[in-house]
Structures are given as C-alpha cells and as structure tokens.
Amino acid sequence: MERWRDKEGEMKRPLIVLDESGSLANLTDPIITVAWLANADARSAKIIVSRAVRDSNRRQRKTKSRGEFKFRNADDYDRRSILEALIDAKVRFGILIVDKAKQAIEDTPENYAVVIAETIVMAQDYYRSANLEIIVDGHFSSHADRQRFLALLVDGLDLEVQPQFADSKVTPLVQLADFVAGAFYSKFGVRRNAEYVEQIESQLIAETRITWRELKAKWIQRF
C-alpha cells in the first residue's frame, strides 16, 4: 500500500488518475478497460509524454502538430516507449476490465458512473481509505452530463472530495492512464495482443474482471 506524505511529513490524500479504453456505446468494442494510476506525478508524466511526442515527431519527420497522443493512434514504437518509461518511473496501476457481452450500452452519466465507481472502489480498497483525490477524463461534452456524473459519484460513494475533470488532450497524467488502459484493451479486446501487458504487468497492483450485467446489478441500488 502506498503511503503519501508531503514535504513536512504529514499524511495527504493519495491521488489516482483514471482513463478508459473502449466505448460503452460502440457495439464493436467487446470490453471496456479503465486504468487508474496509483503513484504518478504531474511533472514526471509531462516529461514522459513530451519526450515521447518529440521523439515520435522526429522519427516520423512530422512538422505539424499531431492529434491527441493516445494508445489507439500511436504506433508500436511509441506505445512501447511510453510503457517502458512508465516502468522506469515505477508507476503502479490498477485495471478494471468490463465484459460487455456483445452489447451496445447507452453512454449515460448513470452507466459511466457505474464503471468509474467500481474503479474508484478498487483504489479505495488498495489504499484502505475513502479519502482520495481523483482525476478523470472529462468524457462528456455536455456540462449537465458532467455535473450529473459527478453528483452520482459523490453521493453514491460518499466521497469527501469531488473528482476533478481533466482534458486528456493536454493532461499527461490522463494520457499515461490511457496507454495503460489501451494495453489491456489490446490484450482482452478484439486483437488479443498480450505483448503490451507483458511489458508492464510487473507494476500491476489490482485487477478486476466483471461482466456488465454483474456490474450494473452491483450498483443499481446506488445509481
């Protein structure tokens, strides 16, 4: 279990950063994976992502700004580079794998809250504390949907601190979580490529696999 202290030695809230790979609503996605980083820090994440983007642009001779740097649009070299940097930085992580059972699930605040709530509980169990700081990708474009999602999490989990949204396009911490989620999606999704997970599994601290039906039944009374 991680112990978090500030420079004065006082206990502080652990920070977890979440992002997912796969889509609830997309019928072609058999699963959705959600990764949470347990001990990453913003400065290290910025260095890792900036270096990877710079090296990728140089290698591919790109002069124009690229799109969002994500696992799904990165090539094999970039993926391995990011994941190797995660290992070097000793970033620990947990993963939730939800089997959708070939369903297209409506992407509502309620359904997304179910997925993220299960992920947060994994982290709470790991830290043996409900008092966490949480950063999650914005996900919804609608302000009303975002606020509804937050309200569901805060009330359903009795959170002391409201989760904070971050834009995955410009937030390296979330981008790193995306690469972890993408690695596990690559293993358990359509292509069944386990190589990326094998590269980083030494840093895995928690893993949950569950079907959407089981997950929904577990949380339906709260949401």
Rounded distance between C-alpha atoms, residue 107 and residue 199, angstroms = 31
For residue 179, give the nearest of 42, 60, 41, 84 by alpha carbon: 84
C-alpha distance from residue 69 to each of 17, 58, 179 (Å)? 17, 15, 9
Query: Could you read off the pLDDT of 153-182 as tens digits, one per residue?
Result: 999 999 989 999 998 888 999 999 999 999
Mean pLDDT of the chain: 90
Which domain range does residue 120 map to?
A: 15-219
Asked whether residue 168 is domain-assigned, the answer is yes
Sign of the four-CA dihedral 172, 76, 182, 209: negative
Residue among 213, 182, 210, 184 at smallest CA distance from 21: 182
Q: Is residue 92 part of a domain?
A: yes
Stretch among 60-64, 99-103, 106-110, 206-210 having the lowest mean pLDDT:
60-64
Number of domains in the chain: 1
Say what the pTM is: 0.90
Q: Is residue 9 part of a domain?
A: no
Average pLDDT (106-128) is 97
Q: How confident is the model at residue 3 (pLDDT cuts 50, 70, 90)?
A: very low
pLDDT digits (tens, 9 = 90+) for 42-84: 888 889 888 888 887 787 776 555 567 899 999 999 999 999 9
> What CATH number does residue 31 fall under?
3.30.420.10
d(CA 118, CA 121): 5
In which residue are the tokens 């937050």 written? 150
Contact 197, 91 (CB under 8 A): no
Q: Does residue 81 form part of some domain?
A: yes
